[in-house]
Chains A and B, each alone.
Chain A
Amino acid sequence: MDAFACPLPPGGAATVLLGHGGGGSLSQQLIDQLLVPAFGPADGVLHDAAVLPAEEGPLAFTTDAYVVRPLQFPGGDIGSLAVFGTVNDLAMVGATAIALSLSLILEEGLPMPVLHQVVASIRLAAQRCGVPVVTGDTKVVERGKGDGIYINTAGIGRVDHGLVIGPKAVRSGDSILVSGDLGRHGVAILAARQELGFRTELHSDLAPLQEPVQALLAAGLELHCMRDLTRGGLASALHEIGRGAGLGVLVRENAIPIAPEVDAACELLGLDPLAMANEGRFVLFLPAAEAKRALELLRRFEPSAAIIGSVQGDSVLLENSLGLNRRLELGRGEQLPRIC
């Protein structure tokens, strides 16, 4: 990955000022010296909207807002998160991102170098996904009314397959796979906030999912449903898909890949690794006969990918390591460490 050289010689304001969002010369400076060099068209001329070439076939469209504290964490930052998150949402319907929008909501007083780093990280992430940032907006809110940076991105994606991918396509007997081990992002963020009470070398799993999904599609596999395992983790995704499909699932605890560091951190704090957030993992439903081939493909991208269970019955169950079934609980929002 090539590092993005900051096009703006250090100088000008050291922090974000309210005027950077005011539409005057400070706004112009920010756009001309930071955003256009990072994302702008070759001729540097901006207009009110981007005009995209017409695409044959259906398009996918999604949007997401990104708030994360701290802005930079082991394995990524809010900038890469804002690109991969939206690209991944498109990937979950089998679409390839062709254009992104970028809205930055900045807090007055944000150190300018932090903004530069985040913009550089957005640029690198977008390059990695082969998607241009074609339009955007910047606003500044008063100090104390934001958390440094909030980002909204929207994405348009091209759909090159004829499959209907979603909960309604799930069938009884389908196999369920995860694209890698779970819970790294959630634990890494807790550690970065110093809320774990101990240190860990763990990095977020933040990653683009477009490539593994395109590999699955290129292999001609009959993908029934995919969901990226962000907030709420695997537990929420299985409940949502199960409810959407009107079917139950049974997953085996022993088969679900969880890194020992994640398991240990969750065990100590009373958190559920299956409800922890991920930013580079997805769950896949497809016919059992194709599960092995899908697993081989997924393991080329992430060796910890695994087949974890199947669609059956009418409730969401976990078979634990003792061979006993219990209800898989839906996470309930903010996970709070327990007392003892």
Chain B
Amino acid sequence: MSLPSPYRRPEAVHRLAAVLRREITRPWTVMEVCGGQTHAILRHGLDQLLPDQLELIHGPGCPVCVTAEAAIDRAQALAGRPEVILCSYGDMLRVPGSSARTLLDVRAAGGDVRIVTSPSDLLAIAQAHPERTVVFFAVGFETTAPATALLAHQAWALGLRNLALLVCHGRVPPAMEAILAAPECRVQGFLAAGHVCTVMGVEEYSPIASRHGVPIVVTGFEPVDLLEGLLQCVRQLERGESQVLNAYPRASQAAGNGAARALIERVFTPVDQTWRGLGVLSGSGLGLRPPYDALDAERRFGTIMPRPAAGNETDPADPASPCISGRVLQGLARPTDCPAFGGHCTPERPLGAPMVSAEGACAAYHRYRA
């Protein structure tokens, strides 16, 4: 295995940054949608190389950050049951639900909570523990949804009765629409997440670009990729264009990954979903279709699932909390605008979700900004 070092070469990075500084003539505001990109920008210090006129707004594309508190509460309720083995991705375990408890706390209190790196691990766990119910807390965007869909399909085909899915996948395009529709929106161009497009292709973005008149550039995660994406976005803004361009052709093609898309469509159907900080977004989640809905943990454990108090479904921030994560997740505020940043709120004791995940904007600022 070797790293894509050509995409980190200092000469290439500095040359692209110089072109960007030379070509920009006016102030522009661009949002990188994906938390992985936010993290990479700060980790490599690319923000230090950008022209002053270019403002980056960090988008809501961190799946850990936008998973609704109510969904985490439901995962915790399941994980606390003796007959359940709850599995999820590692960084999901540290996110507080509505009670400030995390899945790590549930594990410490005796819950069987396991980290998996691939949903396919669940098959072996379910087969090894026929007497228990193995639940996958499925989070992530279109990047991780195909693996969940494959698990659902395999479990259904094998007739595994002790496997259930607590599905909390998000779809990125409805979130971009919601950001653009907000009256205070300042975003003039987008870097779309390259790996999401690797799966889904780019066709979903053309209607957004033309309806809102914003350029959208499919962008990767290495320093050269990010600067190339920014350059293609700024060039369009300078010319008054709003096209969907692909600055990540080595990994993303227009049609995406046909097999993965077919699997998603076979297993899931778009549903409305609550995003932390953004509220309920139409068609922004994925629900299990028949016959796979037989695996739905909500259905199997419906009666024991906690429900948010009436009117609390949209996760409004606690008015007493100084945390402004809702505004950060919408790109309306920077992490450093928050009075709690770095003081009351740190990665060890997070008040809001963007401080929890390594890819959250607040955690990235806290981690890398000197």
Contacts and interface: CB of A to CB of B under 8 A. Distances in A.
Contacts of A270: 91, 358-359
Nearest to A334: B104
Interface string B143-179: 1100000000000000000000000000000000000
Contacts of B140: 339-340
Q: Chain A binding site: helix, strand, loop or mixed by DSSP?
A: loop
Interface string A300-340: 00000000000000010100111111110100100011111
B370 A338 contact: no
A261 B1 contact: yes
A337 B369 CA distance: 22
A270 to B, nearest CB: 6
A269 B89 CA distance: 11
A39 B161 CA distance: 53
B14 A322 contact: yes
Nearest to B139: A339
B64 A326 contact: no
Contacts of A211: none
A36 interface: no
A23 B329 CA distance: 62
B144 A336 contact: no
Interface in A44-93: none
Interface string A137-172: 000000000000000000000000000000000000
B367 A336 contact: no
B63 interface: yes
B358 to A, nearest CB: 6
Contacts of B2: 260, 264
B117 A269 contact: yes
A195 interface: yes
Contacts of A323: 10
Contacts of B1: 260-261, 264
Nearest to A338: B91
A322 B45 contact: yes
Contacts of A320: 43-45
Nearest to B89: A339
Contact of B45 (A261, A315, A326): A326
A196 B117 contact: yes
Given A317-B370, A332-B347, A339 B223 contact: no
B142 to A, nearest CB: 10
A296 interface: no
A197 B370 CA distance: 34
Interface in B338-370: 347-348, 357-359, 367-370
Contacts of A290: none
Contacts of A324: 44-45, 48-49
A336 B90 contact: yes
Contacts of B369: 326-327
Which of B91, B93, B223 has the most A CB atoms < 10 Å from its CB? B91
A317 B370 CA distance: 8
Contact of A322 (B44, B89, B93): B44
Interface residues of A, number: 27
Contacts, number: 88
Interface string B84-119: 000001111110000000000000000000010110
Interface in A173-224: 195-197
B368 A329 contact: yes
B370 A325 contact: yes
Given A322-B13, A322-B223, A326-B370, A339 B91 contact: yes
A336 B359 CA distance: 12
A322 B141 contact: no
Contacts of B44: 320, 322, 324
A340 B48 contact: no
A263 interface: yes
Contacts of B118: 197
A267 B3 contact: yes
Given A264-B3, A321-B8, A336 B368 contact: no
A337 B43 CA distance: 17
B276 interface: no
Given A264-B3, A326-B45, A340 B36 contact: yes
Which of B45, B94, B141, B359 has the most A CB atoms < 10 Å from its CB? B45
A326 B42 contact: yes
B90 A327 contact: no
A274 B117 CA distance: 21
A221 B143 CA distance: 54
Contact of A339 (B13, B48, B64, B367): B64
A312 to B, nearest CB: 13
A336 B93 CA distance: 8
Nearest to A190: B117
A61 B115 CA distance: 38
A337 B223 contact: no
Nearest to A196: B117
Interface in B1-36: 1-3, 8, 10, 13-14, 36
A195 B368 CA distance: 27
Contacts of B58: none
9 contacts: A197-B121, A260-B1, A260-B3, A323-B10, A324-B44, A324-B45, A324-B49, A325-B45, A329-B368
A-B pairs, top 10 by smallest CB distance, nearest first, are A324-B45, A336-B90, A197-B117, A337-B90, A264-B1, A339-B89, A329-B367, A326-B368, A340-B143, A327-B370
Given A195-B117, A340-B36, 19 more contacts: A196-B117, A264-B1, A270-B359, A315-B370, A320-B45, A321-B8, A321-B10, A322-B44, A322-B223, A324-B44, A325-B45, A326-B369, A332-B348, A337-B90, A338-B89, A338-B90, A339-B90, A340-B141, A340-B143
Interface of A: 195-197, 260-261, 263-264, 267, 269-270, 315, 317, 320-327, 329, 332, 336-340
